[in-house]
Amino acid sequence: MSEEEKEQADGVRGHWDQRLGAFQKLVLIKSFMEEKVVFAVTEFVIVSLGKQFVENPPVDLATLYSDMSPSTPLVFILSTGSDPMGAFQRFAKERGYLDRVRSISLGQGQGPIAEKMILEALKSGNWIFLQNCHLAVSWMLAMEELIKTFTEPDTVIHENFRLFLSSMPTKVFPVTVLQNSVKVTNEPPKGLRANVRRAFTEITNNFFEEHILGRQWRKIIFGVCFFHAIIQERKKFGPLGWNIPYGFNESDLRISIRQLQLFVREYDQVPMEAITYLTGECNYGGRVTDDWDRRLLMTILADFYNKDIIENPRYTFSPSGKYYAPPKSNYEDYIEFIRNLPFLQHPEVFGMHENVDISKDLQQTKQLFDSLLLTQGGGAKGGASSGGDNTLFDIANDILTKLPANFDIEAALLKYPVLYEESMNTVLVQEMERYNTLAVTIRVSLQNLLKAIKGLVVMDAELEALSGSLMVGKLP
């Protein structure tokens, strides 16, 4: 290669960042570093649309309330780890309406009671909050008919009447109610920093600062908020985080802080054993069914409920020392400290190896692309139409013709014999056998698919799934 050609080759390698467009970079990252796709997509959205499209806006009930009317309900679409009740009660208190709120958690036999409450509130002007509508499947039709009457001309409704509903995503929830209501979802935030920030919004300035323990009280409160964020964030690691995924939510944090306040008021010193038992074994532990998960929960809690967090001015929550409770600060300083925490947390803060991030990121990438494919409507399936069949036939044939032949294991053993001093030869032959197994599986699957398209064999569920993946370019 001439010097000029070398320079040109180096130029190609060195200028990909300038040569490729934003979307082309995404394709490159998808091909070579699949675990980084979610970060790359986030960056792509920030550059293309703006930062506000990747940040969860805070749920402002005052704004949502202005969109409501006596005949237009508000629906909270629940997700694991979110509980809108606390925010709703605070809003009702601000409006001076807390004593006129009537709430009921729906379930078996609660439908008629809820109906009676609504009919009374239509006259009195109370607020009604029907929680967990997904648990009252049999009453949903009756609820739909009742809400339809709100818009009828002969129905008399008090001008102050408001209806609030909460439900997990479910097919049984009435579509007409969804169409004619204000909808809001309150998902738990992603990232340790966002989780600590959300936990802190539950605490008022006075409650945080005006306490007899002063600095010690503030550090304990920050510790319990940080603990809540850590156990929430561990869920994203799947079975590496918890053996069983648990629905920890803000009500667990609220009751733990209230108990902490009660105990600190009663005793001269902070009774660590009592609050550890109540928080770990009762409030959070009440949800935990696996023995190892319970042991893990208590081990994590021990890092936050101990004497060092009170006495040591620079007690850290992780080996790196980036996470700690600020020594002498007021409420605003703590908020500022949380804002400056790292956006992407290192696994060491969870007590985990750095490799867990790779499996977690791959899982998130897969989930992202599965969701994107769902928005396409699934594409044409095998056997759906002659056009779809022809396309599928061409794709399967194309892969079959390009599929390399199996490795000759006997020839490999002769050329690279298994010897004591050449241990890598053993690994080579084992990998060849594994590759051959994969190639045979692909070959047989595609041959069966071609037969199914021709009508020679039955198109079973496995072949149907294979054809669906091939049509949308997804790895089967």
Residue ranges of the chain with per-residue pLDDT less than 70: 1-14, 56-59, 81, 188, 212, 328, 377-387
Within-domain flag for 254: yes
Residues 198 and 324 in one domain: yes
Predicted confidence at residue 433, as pLDDT, reads: 93
Shared domain for 273 and 308, answered yes or no, is yes
Q: Domain span at residue 147?
A: 61-185
Which residues does 96 contact at the CB level (< 8 Å), separation at least 6?
none
Give the contacts of 292 (CB within 8 A, at least 6 positions apart): 243
Q: Residue 283: which residues within 8 A CB-CB, separation 6 or more?
A: 252, 255, 256, 259
C-alpha 11/C-alpha 101 separation (Å) is 69
Number of domains within the chain: 3
Structure tokens at 20: 């490729």
Rg (CA), the chain: 29
In a shared domain, residues 277 and 346: yes
- Does one domain contain both 396 and 457? yes
CA 470 from centre of chain: 28
Do 457 and 393 sit in the same domain of this protein?
Answer: yes
Strand partners, 182: 74
- Category of 191 on φ-ψ map: left (φ > 0), alpha (ψ -120 to 50) or beta: left
Question: Is 214 found in the same domain as 80?
Answer: no
What pLDDT score does 136 carry? 86
Q: What is the pLDDT of residue 448?
A: 92
21-69 pLDDT, tens digit per residue, is 888 888 888 888 888 888 889 888 988 898 888 776 666 788 888 888 8
Let me know whether 386 and 448 are in one domain. Answer: yes
What gap in Å lies between CA 274 and CA 263, rounded to an integer? 8
321 CB contacts (<8 Å, ≥6 apart)? none
CATH number at residue 109: 3.40.50.300
Q: Is residue 6 part of a domain?
A: no
Whether 450 and 396 have beta carbons less than 8 Å apart is answered as yes
> Of 158, 185, 212, at which residue does a domain stop?
185
* 196 and 173, same domain (yes or no): no
In 239-371, beta strands by DSSP E: none
3-state secondary structure of 449: helix
Q: What is the DSSP letter of 163?
A: E
C-alpha triplet 149, 154, 156: angle, nearest 5°: 80
The answer to the question of residue 368 being in a domain is no
Give the pLDDT score at 377: 62
End residue of a domain, out of 185, 217, 235: 185
363 in a structural domain: no
Paired residues of 167 in beta bridges: 77
Beta bridge partners of 105: 131
32 in a domain, yes or no? no
User: Rounded to an integer, what distance in angstroms lies between the CA atom of residue 433 and that of residue 70?
Assistant: 70
How far does CA 71 lie from the centroid of its chain?
A: 33
Q: Are residues 147 and 208 in the same domain?
A: no
Same-domain check for residues 342 and 196: yes
Residue 472: what pLDDT? 82
Instruction: Give the pLDDT of residue 435.
Output: 94
* Joined tokens for residue 431: 């990998």
Question: Is 127 in the same domain as 212?
Answer: no
Amino acid at 83: D
- Report yes or no: 471 and 391 within 8 Å, Cβ to Cβ: yes
Q: b/e for 372-391, b at 16 or more Cβ within 10 A?
A: ebeeeeebbbbbeeeebbeb
The answer as to whether 172 is a domain residue is yes
How many other CB atoms are found less than 10 A from the CB of residue 370? Answer: 10
Q: Give the domain-ending residue among 150, 170, 185.
A: 185
Residue at 41 is within a domain: no
Domain assignment of residue 31, yes or no: no
- Cβ count near 283 (within 10 Å): 21
- Do 157 and 304 fall into the same domain? no
Q: How far apart are CA 205 and CA 115, in angstroms?
A: 39
Q: How far apart are the first and last CA of the chain?
A: 42
Looking at residue 281, its amino acid is E
Q: Is 394 helix (H, G, I), strand (E, B) or coil?
A: helix
Contact 465, 476 (CB under 8 A): yes
pTM (predicted TM-score): 0.65
Q: What Å distances lie between residue 118 and 73, 166, 400, CA to CA? A: 12, 15, 65
Rounded distance between C-alpha atoms, residue 143 and residue 44, angstroms: 43
Question: How far from 52 is each of 36, 42, 187, 340, 341, CA to CA, in Å?
Answer: 21, 11, 16, 18, 19
Q: Name every residue whose Cβ is closer than 8 Å to that of residue 42 and which is 6 or more positions away in sequence.
A: 54
pLDDT at 5: 45
CATH, residue 209: 1.10.8.720
